């Protein structure tokens, strides 16, 4: 996607601001507000990477990648950037957190994901630390 200030096929990234969807968007739409929150997919938040548009509304920086399993996301990161999903060392991504994306456009930790999945009926028992294999 190009910025409207770009010319000749180049993009001026300095003027791009992240689009952060707010919880007000959900509250403003009665149909969305009525749907209980549930876990949609595995996600990893990479906090030290360049901020991208369309982040979950509770993340103001970095990038969130989603996938079926966390291992799939780790493989995507390596294939796309040649960075390893580790905090330190050569070719590391820096700060990151494994969690989940919900239907309310929130990135949640594995702990909160366990509570949400149980409340939504996605797991039969409360998980204190959710794995994608617990849900699908």
Residue with tokens 């366990």: 114
CB 111 within 8 A of CB 128: yes
Strands 107-109 and 96-102: antiparallel
Answer with the residue of higher pLDDT: 108 or 29.
Answer: 108
Tell me the whole-structure pTM to 2 decimals.
0.79
The Cα 104–Cα 132 span in angstroms is 18
Q: 24: closest CA among 33, 16, 11?
A: 33
Three-state secondary-structure class, residue 71: helix
Residue pLDDT, tens place only, 38-59: 999 999 999 999 998 889 999 9
């Amino acid at each position: 996607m190009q910025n409207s200030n770009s010319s000749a096929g180049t993009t001026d990234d300095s003027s791009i601001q992240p689009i952060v969807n707010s919880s007000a968007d959900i509250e403003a739409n009665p149909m969305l507000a009525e749907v209980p929150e549930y876990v949609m997919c595995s996600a990893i938040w990479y906090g030290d990477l360049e901020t991208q548009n369309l982040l979950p509304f509770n993340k103001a920086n970095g990038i969130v990648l989603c996938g079926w399993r966390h291992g799939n996301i780790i493989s995507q990161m390596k294939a796309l950037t040649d960075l390893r999903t580790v905090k330190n060392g050569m070719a590391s991504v820096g700060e990151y957190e494994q969690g989940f994306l919900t239907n309310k456009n929130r990135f949640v930790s594995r702990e909160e994901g366990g509570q949400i999945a149980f409340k939504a009926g996605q797991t039969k028992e409360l998980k204190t630390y959710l794995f994608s294999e617990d849900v699908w």
